[in-house]
Amino acid sequence: MSLIVQKFGGTSVADSGRLRHVAQIITDTYKAGNQVVAVLSAQGDTTDELIEKAREINPGASTREMDMLLSTGEQISVALCAMAVEALGFPVVSLTGWQAGMVTNTVSMNARIKKVDTERIEAELDARRIVIVTGFQGINRYDDVTTLGRGGSDTSAVALAASLHADLCQIYTDVDGVYTADPRLVPHARKLDEVTYNEMLELATLGAQVLHNRSVEMAKKYNVSLEVLSSFSGNPGTKVKEVAKRMEKSYISSVAKDTNIARIALLGVPNEIGTSFKVFSLLAQHNINVDIILQGIGHEEGKDICFTVAQSDLAMAEKLLRENQERIRFRVLETNADVAKVSVVGAGVIGNPGVAAKLFEALYDAGININMISTSEIKISVLVERRDAEKAVQVIHDKFFAI
């Protein structure tokens, strides 16, 4: 008998039809002789509707009361799903975050799970019940309801799987798994059977919306076997694990693009120690994340510093830098929001210098100019013009995955 944690996202539980289908997946797993803990998000647009209600009343509502409000979304999902399971004739119980023992820190709307008191869930499993738990939420040490912020339900599922020593944590979503590229861009993209935690982490950072980073980090830390699959298709998904089997010669697992990015260039910065520190500590103080950084060697007249930030942070970053122009002493500030980041990810990048060469060759052949380059052990990212992004993904994919 295995213990399986199954997580279903908002689109998977959007209406009664979808909920009945989810109940079928859950009870099929149970009938096969497994213990099942299901973790659910709020239905479809429920969370957005609740946020809209709050804005109407008080755009500056406290995060504590926002959590009180938003946490009702998942509670509605789990109760309705439990009813759907009851309708199929199986023993079931739904639990909220606090009933399931999801203890978090006290940061409202962006809480971190500190521990899971699994006593109640284990008692319910011992009684042979299917357990359906609210994702995205917990309780802090003051007995206040908290929510986990973006990707919270994935994290709830992985935390439960880790605490319960589950044999498998299945993340049901609206895509079939992890592909070698976005199938909407590259029609012949292939689904991967397995990827490593590290590859998944890079992919999540690069804008692949399959799994949230926090959940992958936690899965890696506690060695939770993950599987990403579709609640719609019924096909096998992609397994995420420490070491992934890979087809011969396929050094990389996936090509991704991120267009939510902008470039800032500071030109004519004095060529002296401490300038970079001034720039990046200023941005960090205001929670602005910097991605690719490129800094020339510099010469007597000064040096140039280029870096990328999320588009949503561009205005704030520009404002901060201009306010501090005298202190940082740059000559010119240039911004460009018409850029995109295209990346190849794979455990095979390290130790295969040919990967970079192949990537550059593909872009050269397509006449696409490379703006900046950044590499990690399992990733190579290049910055290109926004209008070239889709083509870049296609030609790189063809170069690496052509049959």
Q: Specify binding-site residues.
A: 7-10, 47, 74, 173-174, 179, 184
99 binds its own copies (CB under 8 A): yes
CB-facing half-sphere around the CA of 36: CA atoms within 13 A: 30
Closer by beta carbon to its own copies, 8 or else 197? 8
Q: Is there a contact between 238 and 194 (Cβ–Cβ < 8 Å)? A: yes
Q: Which stretch binds its own copies (CB under 8 A): 57-65, 222-230, 332-340, 376-384?
A: 57-65
Q: Which stretch binds its own copies (CB under 8 A): 73-81, 158-166, 222-230, 257-265?
A: 73-81
Q: Which residues are within 8 A (CB) of 98 and not within 5 positions of it... i.e. 6 or more apart?
A: 138, 139, 143, 145
Tokens of 333: 């500030």
Q: Which stretch binds its own copies (CB under 8 A): 69-77, 178-186, 252-260, 288-296?
A: 69-77
Closer by beta carbon to its own copies, 69 or else 288? 69
Alpha-carbon span 263 to 297, nearest angstrom: 19
Options 86, 122, 167, 304; binder of its own copies; rule CB under 8 A: 86
Options 12, 71, 205, 253; binder of its own copies; rule CB under 8 A: 71
20 binds its own copies (CB under 8 A): yes
Which residue has 């606090």 as its token pair? 98
153 binds its own copies (CB under 8 A): no
Q: Which stretch binds its own copies (CB under 8 A): 91-99, 148-156, 259-267, 278-286?
A: 91-99
Closer by beta carbon to its own copies, 98 or else 400? 98
Alpha-carbon span 344 to 375, nearest angstrom: 10
Site string for its own copies, 113-142 (x = CB under 8 A): -------x----------------------
106 binds its own copies (CB under 8 A): no
Nearest-approach distance from CB 123 to its own copies, in angstroms: 10
Closer by beta carbon to its own copies, 86 or else 318? 86
322 binds its own copies (CB under 8 A): no
Site string for its own copies, 27-56 (x = CB under 8 A): -----------------------x--xx-x
Closer by beta carbon to its own copies, 120 or else 391? 120
Nearest-approach distance from CB 120 to its own copies, in angstroms: 7
For residue 65, CA distances in Å to 59, 109, 354 come to 12, 10, 54
Contact residues: its own copies, CB under 8 A: 16, 19-20, 50, 53-54, 56-58, 60-62, 64-66, 68-69, 71-72, 75-76, 78-80, 82-84, 86-87, 93-94, 96, 98-99, 120, 143-145
